[in-house]
Amino acid sequence: MTTTRLRPPARTTSTEATLLTVERGMQVLRAFRCERSAVSNAELVRRTGLSKATVSRLTSTFLQLGFLRHVAGGREFELGTGPLSIGHSFIEASPLVRTANPFLQALADKLNVSVALAVPNGPEMLYICYRTSDRIATLRLGVGSLLPLGTTSIGRAWLWALAPAEQKRRIAELKRAAGGRGAALEQSIRGSFSELETTGTCAVLGGYQRDAYGVATPVRIGRNGTPMGLSCGNAEVAPNLAQSRKRIAPELKKAAVQLEALLAETDGLP
Protein backbone atom coordinates (compact mmCIF):
# COMPACT_ATOMS: atom_id res chain seq x y z
CA MET A 1 0.00 0.00 0.00
CA THR A 2 1.30 3.40 -0.94
CA THR A 3 1.48 5.82 1.94
CA THR A 4 0.66 9.43 1.17
CA ARG A 5 2.82 11.81 3.14
CA LEU A 6 1.05 14.98 4.20
CA ARG A 7 2.96 18.19 3.81
CA PRO A 8 3.40 20.20 6.98
CA PRO A 9 1.41 23.45 7.02
CA ALA A 10 3.23 26.34 5.39
CA ARG A 11 4.93 28.62 7.87
CA THR A 12 4.60 32.36 7.75
CA THR A 13 7.65 33.77 5.98
CA SER A 14 9.83 36.32 7.71
CA THR A 15 8.62 38.99 5.27
CA GLU A 16 4.97 38.26 6.07
CA ALA A 17 5.70 38.29 9.79
CA THR A 18 7.48 41.65 9.47
CA LEU A 19 4.57 43.15 7.53
CA LEU A 20 2.12 41.88 10.13
CA THR A 21 4.17 43.44 12.93
CA VAL A 22 4.30 46.78 11.11
CA GLU A 23 0.55 46.68 10.49
CA ARG A 24 -0.15 45.99 14.15
CA GLY A 25 2.25 48.73 15.20
CA MET A 26 0.39 51.21 13.03
CA GLN A 27 -2.89 50.10 14.62
CA VAL A 28 -1.49 50.99 18.03
CA LEU A 29 -0.28 54.44 16.92
CA ARG A 30 -3.59 55.20 15.22
CA ALA A 31 -5.40 54.37 18.46
CA PHE A 32 -4.16 57.64 19.96
CA ARG A 33 -6.72 60.40 19.48
CA CYS A 34 -6.40 64.13 18.94
CA GLU A 35 -7.54 64.97 22.48
CA ARG A 36 -4.09 63.85 23.70
CA SER A 37 -5.43 62.07 26.76
CA ALA A 38 -3.16 59.37 28.18
CA VAL A 39 -3.96 55.78 27.14
CA SER A 40 -3.27 52.54 29.01
CA ASN A 41 -2.34 49.18 27.52
CA ALA A 42 -5.81 47.94 28.42
CA GLU A 43 -7.44 50.78 26.48
CA LEU A 44 -5.15 50.14 23.51
CA VAL A 45 -6.27 46.49 23.55
CA ARG A 46 -9.89 47.64 23.48
CA ARG A 47 -9.33 50.15 20.66
CA THR A 48 -7.23 47.90 18.43
CA GLY A 49 -8.60 44.41 19.13
CA LEU A 50 -5.04 43.11 19.51
CA SER A 51 -3.98 40.76 22.30
CA LYS A 52 -2.57 42.05 25.59
CA ALA A 53 0.81 40.46 24.85
CA THR A 54 1.02 42.07 21.40
CA VAL A 55 0.08 45.52 22.68
CA SER A 56 2.55 45.26 25.58
CA ARG A 57 5.36 44.25 23.23
CA LEU A 58 4.61 47.05 20.77
CA THR A 59 4.30 49.80 23.39
CA SER A 60 7.63 48.73 24.89
CA THR A 61 9.25 48.95 21.46
CA PHE A 62 7.68 52.34 20.74
CA LEU A 63 8.91 53.63 24.10
CA GLN A 64 12.48 52.72 23.16
CA LEU A 65 12.11 54.36 19.72
CA GLY A 66 10.63 57.59 21.08
CA PHE A 67 7.25 57.10 19.41
CA LEU A 68 5.54 56.82 22.81
CA ARG A 69 6.35 58.11 26.28
CA HIS A 70 4.97 57.55 29.77
CA VAL A 71 2.91 60.36 31.26
CA ALA A 72 4.43 61.89 34.36
CA GLY A 73 3.78 59.80 37.44
CA GLY A 74 1.93 57.01 35.66
CA ARG A 75 2.19 53.97 33.42
CA GLU A 76 -0.16 55.29 30.75
CA PHE A 77 1.14 56.41 27.36
CA GLU A 78 1.00 59.43 25.12
CA LEU A 79 2.57 60.03 21.72
CA GLY A 80 6.25 60.96 21.75
CA THR A 81 8.23 63.11 19.32
CA GLY A 82 8.73 60.38 16.71
CA PRO A 83 5.31 60.70 15.04
CA LEU A 84 5.63 64.50 15.19
CA SER A 85 8.73 64.47 12.98
CA ILE A 86 6.99 62.23 10.44
CA GLY A 87 3.90 64.43 10.44
CA HIS A 88 5.99 67.58 10.01
CA SER A 89 7.80 66.02 7.04
CA PHE A 90 4.47 65.10 5.50
CA ILE A 91 3.10 68.63 5.83
CA GLU A 92 6.25 70.24 4.47
CA ALA A 93 6.50 67.87 1.50
CA SER A 94 2.85 67.79 0.38
CA PRO A 95 2.05 70.04 -2.62
CA LEU A 96 -1.65 69.53 -1.91
CA VAL A 97 -1.37 70.81 1.66
CA ARG A 98 0.89 73.74 0.73
CA THR A 99 -1.48 74.84 -2.03
CA ALA A 100 -4.72 74.33 -0.11
CA ASN A 101 -3.79 75.95 3.21
CA PRO A 102 -3.81 79.64 2.13
CA PHE A 103 -7.14 79.15 0.37
CA LEU A 104 -8.69 77.42 3.39
CA GLN A 105 -7.33 80.09 5.72
CA ALA A 106 -9.01 82.81 3.67
CA LEU A 107 -12.31 80.92 3.87
CA ALA A 108 -11.96 80.46 7.64
CA ASP A 109 -11.29 84.17 8.14
CA LYS A 110 -14.19 85.18 5.90
CA LEU A 111 -16.75 83.03 7.73
CA ASN A 112 -15.19 83.06 11.22
CA VAL A 113 -15.11 79.27 11.37
CA SER A 114 -12.66 76.40 11.26
CA VAL A 115 -12.20 74.78 7.85
CA ALA A 116 -11.07 71.20 7.31
CA LEU A 117 -10.19 68.95 4.37
CA ALA A 118 -10.32 65.26 5.25
CA VAL A 119 -9.81 61.77 3.85
CA PRO A 120 -11.05 58.43 5.22
CA ASN A 121 -9.00 56.44 7.68
CA GLY A 122 -10.88 53.26 8.52
CA PRO A 123 -14.10 54.21 10.36
CA GLU A 124 -12.91 57.79 10.81
CA MET A 125 -12.05 60.90 8.82
CA LEU A 126 -8.48 62.18 9.00
CA TYR A 127 -7.85 65.92 8.77
CA ILE A 128 -5.07 66.57 6.27
CA CYS A 129 -5.66 70.34 6.25
CA TYR A 130 -7.12 72.44 9.04
CA ARG A 131 -7.29 76.22 9.31
CA THR A 132 -9.18 78.37 11.76
CA SER A 133 -10.16 81.97 12.27
CA ASP A 134 -8.56 83.52 15.35
CA ARG A 135 -11.97 84.82 16.39
CA ILE A 136 -13.68 81.50 17.13
CA ALA A 137 -13.73 79.15 20.09
CA THR A 138 -11.23 76.33 19.82
CA LEU A 139 -12.40 72.83 18.95
CA ARG A 140 -9.03 71.37 20.00
CA LEU A 141 -8.60 69.95 16.51
CA GLY A 142 -5.84 70.15 13.94
CA VAL A 143 -4.01 68.32 11.17
CA GLY A 144 -4.04 64.63 12.08
CA SER A 145 -7.31 64.79 14.02
CA LEU A 146 -9.59 61.78 13.60
CA LEU A 147 -13.36 62.29 13.65
CA PRO A 148 -16.08 59.62 13.44
CA LEU A 149 -17.07 58.99 9.84
CA GLY A 150 -20.69 58.11 10.51
CA THR A 151 -21.74 60.90 12.89
CA THR A 152 -20.02 63.99 11.45
CA SER A 153 -20.96 66.17 8.50
CA ILE A 154 -17.53 65.80 6.87
CA GLY A 155 -17.74 62.02 7.08
CA ARG A 156 -21.26 61.87 5.68
CA ALA A 157 -20.39 64.23 2.83
CA TRP A 158 -17.51 61.97 1.83
CA LEU A 159 -19.71 58.88 2.17
CA TRP A 160 -22.37 60.41 -0.06
CA ALA A 161 -19.84 60.93 -2.87
CA LEU A 162 -18.92 57.23 -3.08
CA ALA A 163 -20.05 54.80 -5.76
CA PRO A 164 -23.23 52.96 -4.65
CA ALA A 165 -21.55 49.60 -3.97
CA GLU A 166 -18.77 51.12 -1.88
CA GLN A 167 -21.22 53.37 -0.08
CA LYS A 168 -23.39 50.39 0.81
CA ARG A 169 -20.39 48.46 2.13
CA ARG A 170 -19.24 51.37 4.27
CA ILE A 171 -22.67 51.96 5.78
CA ALA A 172 -22.96 48.27 6.62
CA GLU A 173 -19.60 48.43 8.43
CA LEU A 174 -20.70 51.50 10.41
CA LYS A 175 -23.96 49.80 11.39
CA ARG A 176 -22.14 46.70 12.62
CA ALA A 177 -19.75 48.79 14.69
CA ALA A 178 -22.67 50.75 16.21
CA GLY A 179 -24.38 47.58 17.44
CA GLY A 180 -27.85 48.31 18.76
CA ARG A 181 -27.62 51.91 17.55
CA GLY A 182 -26.96 50.82 13.97
CA ALA A 183 -30.47 51.35 12.59
CA ALA A 184 -30.73 54.84 14.10
CA LEU A 185 -27.28 55.71 12.75
CA GLU A 186 -28.22 54.66 9.23
CA GLN A 187 -31.44 56.69 9.41
CA SER A 188 -29.46 59.76 10.45
CA ILE A 189 -26.93 59.20 7.66
CA ARG A 190 -29.75 58.89 5.13
CA GLY A 191 -31.15 62.17 6.40
CA SER A 192 -27.83 63.86 5.69
CA PHE A 193 -27.82 62.29 2.22
CA SER A 194 -31.22 63.89 1.57
CA GLU A 195 -29.79 67.27 2.58
CA LEU A 196 -26.85 66.77 0.22
CA GLU A 197 -29.11 65.80 -2.67
CA THR A 198 -31.32 68.84 -2.07
CA THR A 199 -28.83 71.54 -1.09
CA GLY A 200 -25.34 70.19 -1.86
CA THR A 201 -24.35 70.34 1.82
CA CYS A 202 -25.22 68.62 5.08
CA ALA A 203 -25.11 69.97 8.64
CA VAL A 204 -24.64 68.06 11.89
CA LEU A 205 -24.73 69.34 15.46
CA GLY A 206 -22.89 67.44 18.19
CA GLY A 207 -21.56 64.74 15.92
CA TYR A 208 -18.19 64.85 17.63
CA GLN A 209 -18.27 67.46 20.37
CA ARG A 210 -21.20 68.94 22.27
CA ASP A 211 -22.32 72.35 20.96
CA ALA A 212 -20.00 71.98 17.94
CA TYR A 213 -21.49 71.93 14.46
CA GLY A 214 -20.19 71.20 11.00
CA VAL A 215 -21.46 72.05 7.53
CA ALA A 216 -19.84 69.93 4.83
CA THR A 217 -19.77 69.09 1.15
CA PRO A 218 -17.80 66.53 -0.86
CA VAL A 219 -14.97 67.52 -3.19
CA ARG A 220 -13.01 65.58 -5.81
CA ILE A 221 -9.36 66.45 -5.70
CA GLY A 222 -6.54 66.07 -8.20
CA ARG A 223 -6.13 64.40 -11.54
CA ASN A 224 -7.82 61.21 -10.32
CA GLY A 225 -10.75 62.98 -8.68
CA THR A 226 -10.05 61.56 -5.20
CA PRO A 227 -13.16 62.07 -3.04
CA MET A 228 -12.60 64.06 0.16
CA GLY A 229 -14.73 65.98 2.61
CA LEU A 230 -14.63 69.77 3.04
CA SER A 231 -16.27 71.31 6.09
CA CYS A 232 -16.73 74.52 8.04
CA GLY A 233 -17.49 74.37 11.75
CA ASN A 234 -17.48 76.08 15.09
CA ALA A 235 -18.32 75.52 18.74
CA GLU A 236 -20.86 77.91 20.25
CA VAL A 237 -23.13 78.10 23.25
CA ALA A 238 -26.58 76.94 22.10
CA PRO A 239 -25.78 77.17 18.37
CA ASN A 240 -28.54 77.77 15.84
CA LEU A 241 -27.76 75.11 13.24
CA ALA A 242 -30.26 76.29 10.64
CA GLN A 243 -28.96 79.86 10.78
CA SER A 244 -25.33 78.73 10.62
CA ARG A 245 -26.02 76.50 7.63
CA LYS A 246 -27.84 79.32 5.83
CA ARG A 247 -24.84 81.59 6.33
CA ILE A 248 -22.12 79.04 5.51
CA ALA A 249 -23.55 76.75 2.81
CA PRO A 250 -23.47 79.17 -0.18
CA GLU A 251 -19.85 80.16 0.51
CA LEU A 252 -18.84 76.57 1.15
CA LYS A 253 -20.26 75.36 -2.17
CA LYS A 254 -18.47 78.12 -4.06
CA ALA A 255 -15.25 77.33 -2.20
CA ALA A 256 -15.56 73.64 -3.09
CA VAL A 257 -15.63 74.44 -6.82
CA GLN A 258 -12.68 76.81 -6.46
CA LEU A 259 -10.67 74.31 -4.40
CA GLU A 260 -11.20 71.54 -6.96
CA ALA A 261 -9.89 73.88 -9.68
CA LEU A 262 -6.96 74.98 -7.52
CA LEU A 263 -5.88 71.39 -6.85
CA ALA A 264 -6.79 69.92 -10.24
CA GLU A 265 -3.16 69.19 -11.19
CA THR A 266 -2.11 67.58 -7.92
CA ASP A 267 -1.95 63.83 -7.38
CA GLY A 268 -5.03 63.99 -5.19
CA LEU A 269 -3.08 62.42 -2.33
CA PRO A 270 -1.89 64.06 0.87
User: What does the chain come to in residues?
Assistant: 270
For the segment 69-115, what is each residue's pLDDT rounded down to a tens digit? Answer: 888 777 898 888 777 677 767 777 788 999 999 999 999 999 999 99
Q: Cα separation of 63 and 82, whole Å?
A: 10
What 8-state DSSP symbol labels residue 40? -
Q: Which residues of 216-232 are buried (b: 16+ CB within 10 A; e: fewer)?
A: bbbbbbbeeebbbbbbb
How buried is 247 (Cβ within 10 angstroms: 0-12 exposed, 13-18 middle, 19+ buried)?
A: middle
Average pLDDT over residues 28-55: 84
CATH architecture for the domain at 94-262:
2-Layer Sandwich (3.30)
**What angle separates helix 153-160 from helix 182-199, to the nearest 10 degrees?**
70
Q: Is the pLDDT of residue 50 over 70?
A: yes
Q: In the chain, which residues fall in CATH 1.10.10.10?
A: 14-81
Question: If you classify domain 14-81 with CATH, what class do you get?
Answer: mainly alpha
In whole angstroms, give the CA distance from residue 142 to residue 127: 7
pTM value surpassing 0.85: no
Domain limits, CATH 3.30.450.40, in the chain: 94-262
Q: What b/e sequence results for 252-270 when a residue is b if at least 16 CB atoms lie within 10 Å of its CB, and e otherwise?
A: bbebbeebbebbeebebeb
Tens-place pLDDT, residues 126-156: 899 999 998 776 567 888 888 999 999 999 9
What mean pLDDT is predicted for residues 170-192?
Answer: 95
Cβ-based neighbour number of residue 62 at 10 Å: 20
SS3 at position 197: helix
pLDDT in tens, 235-263: 888 889 999 999 999 999 999 999 999 99
Flag whether pLDDT at 6 surpasses 80: no
Q: Is the pLDDT of residue 59 over 90?
A: yes
